Chains A and B, each alone.
Chain A
Amino acid sequence: MGMLKDMGHREKIGLALITVALMALPFVLASAGTAWVRIMNFAVLFVLLSLGLNIVVGFAGLLDLGYVAFYAVGAYVYALLASPHFGLHLPFWVILPIGAAVACVAGVILGAPTLRLRGDYLAIVTLGFGEIVRIFMNNLSNPINITNGPKGINRIDSFQIGPVNFAGSDTLAGLVFSGPIKYYYFLMLVLLAVIVINRRLQDSRIGRAWVAIREDEVAAKASGINTRNIKLLAFAMGASFGGIAGGMFAAMQTFVSPESFVLNESIMILAMVVLGGMGNIWGVIAGAVLLSFVPELLRYTVEPVQMALFGKMLVDPEVLRMLVFGLALVLTMRFRPAGLWPETRHRRELSENRA
């Protein structure tokens, strides 16, 4: 990777420290309870989803409110190919690419009829698409039972690499690697790959074409960009990332049902992208981590605090969650309309990396 070569001494040390911290993190979290490792894993999953959506919304500027549909497609592909439902038990490294491919096709199916739409209109159509996928999952149990309807699919296989099964614990060098910790490391690897791919796409011919379409579609066309294909490509790429995240979600949960893929999830992912800073990979990551962790922190702190202060529960954590969430969005839009960590045009990196 060219990035490493061009880094200064201090940056290298910084990177090493971050790596060590991320490696140690699951064990620190595990000491507070395995639940926290799970929460962390879901945060990473949301980071993956946000980075996928960022391609569509952040780079290409296409407002997609149905992104969770691709997550659902990936999850169901995994569930159907690795559970007793059809009696299929393919290994995960076969299913994840299939899930990505199926989601990619779904992305093109969504993209094709919406190419002429922008802004609000596109948002409405994609919103509808997200709901259609969920309703399909809900009803594809009759006359042939494909998705098992609202009951969902359970007893989904966990990842298995050689003798290591991600469902149970293993002990290595005195350290206990619980299931969630193994998923954590796997997720981190995927995340690293996704970040590298995102950065490379951003600084490529295709990435520039995406941003050009976002900035001025007419000028992009006149400059020779085939806007139809390039937009479809954005939908397809974003959807593929969603599909992969969905597959991992299914394996981690060992259970999927249409309930997990409601409109709220789409909005949540979009909020992560917007709050963090559209178009900026690091901002999007920050937004996703923040929005996945804060609700969990509330869940664990609100009740004890209220009990201690008032002796009874006055406000439900769930209510507070939406309140904080709404407030955060309003404040961000008021004071930092481009997000917490907006896209600073990567001038310096460009001239350093590619001189």
Chain B
Amino acid sequence: MSAVLLEARGIGKRFGGVQALKDVSLTIKSGEIYGLIGPNGAGKTTLFNVFTGLYPRDDGEVLFGGSPLHLESPHEVAAAGIARTFQNIRLFGNMTARENVMVGRHVRTRAGVVGAMLRTRAERTEETAIRRRADELLHYVGIADRADDLARHLSYGDQRRLEIARALATEPKLLALDEPAAGMNATETAGLRDLIEGLRRDGLTVLLIEHDVKLVLGLCDRVAVLDYGQKIAEDVPEAVRANPKVIEAYLGTSAH
């Protein structure tokens, strides 16, 4: 059994009177692909935003690699090793694909204003390394030929890939993908699936929110199901599929 990478304990989040998350606990193990599914509005993205520090949580804590995450500042979460993509792609539209990935290197590099103004040797060396790594990652996700195009000019599928490359540039231990297959056609989804499997082979842990049930059940080692902000199941895909609570959440209570 591999080590626990992320452990969430009793996460709670309210928006005004709405309890978006209630006492959600889950554990993600190192090296696995962990799926998070649930009907619309179940709180999947909210949980994501809590994990990555974009929403302040009301209750609970998250341990990452054994130590508590400082969830108040997203950049520290990124530094700790969690990277994410967004459901509604959020790229830096007026920057080139390469520059987008280079931004992802920010958290692992250190050149400051003075180094940049004087263009010191250290700054130039670092800058070259950032560039090289960005090009490698663009190649890795399969869009090396679009490196010099503005992010907003990329096709939808390529934008998804670019977002993953940018996230990978932060050298994450856990990559959190928020509905990466949303809006993709069958070919693009198949390509994405290969990409995610490649990530696992390369030792990355992946947290995946997805609506495409076939994709989730085919890819994931374990799946958690959220409904109305609560976890109703957490198991291997086959067991989750057979779980009556899950069926009820997706299809509604059966008529008697």
Interface size on B, residues (CB 8 A): 47
Q: Which of B5-13, B30-38, B102-110, B195-203 contacts A (4 or more CB under 8 A)?
A: B102-110
In the complex, are the beta carbons of B78 and A224 less than 8 A apart?
Answer: yes
Q: Which of A6-14, A211-219, A315-323 contacts B (4 or more CB under 8 A)?
A: A211-219
**Which A residues touch B107, using CB under 8 A?**
223-225
A151 sits at the interface (CB 8 A): no
B23 sits at the interface (CB 8 A): no
**Which A residues touch B159, using CB under 8 A?**
none
A219 CA to B91 CA, complexed, in Å: 7
Chain B, residues 110-126, CB within 8 Å of chain A (1/0): the string is 01110111010001001
Partner of A220, one of B103, B123, B167: B103
Chain B, residues 14-34, CB within 8 Å of chain A (1/0): the string is 000000000000000000000
In the complex, are the beta carbons of B128 and A224 less than 8 A apart?
Answer: no
The answer to whether A223 and B148 touch (CB under 8 A), given A204-B123, A208-B99, is no
B95 sits at the interface (CB 8 A): yes
Chain B, residues 25-60, CB within 8 Å of chain A (1/0): the string is 000000000000000000000000000111000000
**Which B residues touch A224, using CB under 8 A?**
74-75, 78-79, 83, 104, 106-108, 170
In the complex, how many angstroms separate the beta carbon of B86 from the nearest chain A beta carbon?
A: 7
In the complex, how many angstroms separate the beta carbon of B121 from the nearest chain A beta carbon?
A: 13
**Which A residues touch B83, using CB under 8 A?**
222-224
In the complex, how many angstroms separate the beta carbon of B130 from the nearest chain A beta carbon?
A: 7
In the complex, are the beta carbons of B106 and A209 less than 8 A apart?
Answer: yes
A267 sits at the interface (CB 8 A): no
A282 CA to B118 CA, complexed, in Å: 21
In the complex, are the beta carbons of B116 and A205 less than 8 A apart?
Answer: yes
In the complex, are the beta carbons of B128 and A237 less than 8 A apart?
Answer: no
A197 CA to B91 CA, complexed, in Å: 27
A345 sits at the interface (CB 8 A): yes
A111 sits at the interface (CB 8 A): no
The answer to whether A223 and B166 touch (CB under 8 A), given A208-B99, A345-B150, is yes
**Which B residues touch A237, using CB under 8 A?**
113
In the complex, are the beta carbons of A205 and B130 less than 8 A apart?
Answer: yes
**Which A residues touch B84, using CB under 8 A?**
222
Chain B, residues 78-105, CB within 8 Å of chain A (1/0): the string is 1100011010001111111011001111
Partner of B75, one of A221, A343, A351: A221
B211 sits at the interface (CB 8 A): no
In the complex, are the beta carbons of B148 and A225 less than 8 A apart?
Answer: no
A343 CA to B93 CA, complexed, in Å: 13
A20 CA to B93 CA, complexed, in Å: 40
A233 CA to B106 CA, complexed, in Å: 15
The answer to whether A211 and B94 touch (CB under 8 A), given A219-B86, A223-B106, A224-B75, is yes
B127 sits at the interface (CB 8 A): yes
In the complex, are the beta carbons of A200 and B117 less than 8 A apart?
Answer: yes
In the complex, are the beta carbons of B54 and A212 less than 8 A apart?
Answer: no
**Which B residues touch A197, using CB under 8 A?**
117
**Which A residues touch B70, using CB under 8 A?**
none
In the complex, are the beta carbons of B94 and A207 less than 8 A apart?
Answer: no
A226 sits at the interface (CB 8 A): yes
Partner of A347, one of B78, B91, B93, B148: B148
User: Given A222-B83, A343-B94, A347-B96, 7 more contacts at CB 8 Å?
Assistant: A215-B94, A215-B95, A221-B53, A221-B75, A345-B94, A345-B99, A354-B127
Provide a sorted-by-A list of 22 A–B residue pairs whose CB atoms are within 8 angstroms.
Answer: A201-B116, A203-B127, A205-B105, A205-B109, A205-B116, A208-B95, A208-B102, A209-B106, A211-B92, A215-B93, A216-B90, A219-B86, A219-B91, A221-B53, A222-B86, A223-B107, A224-B75, A224-B170, A226-B75, A233-B113, A345-B95, A345-B96
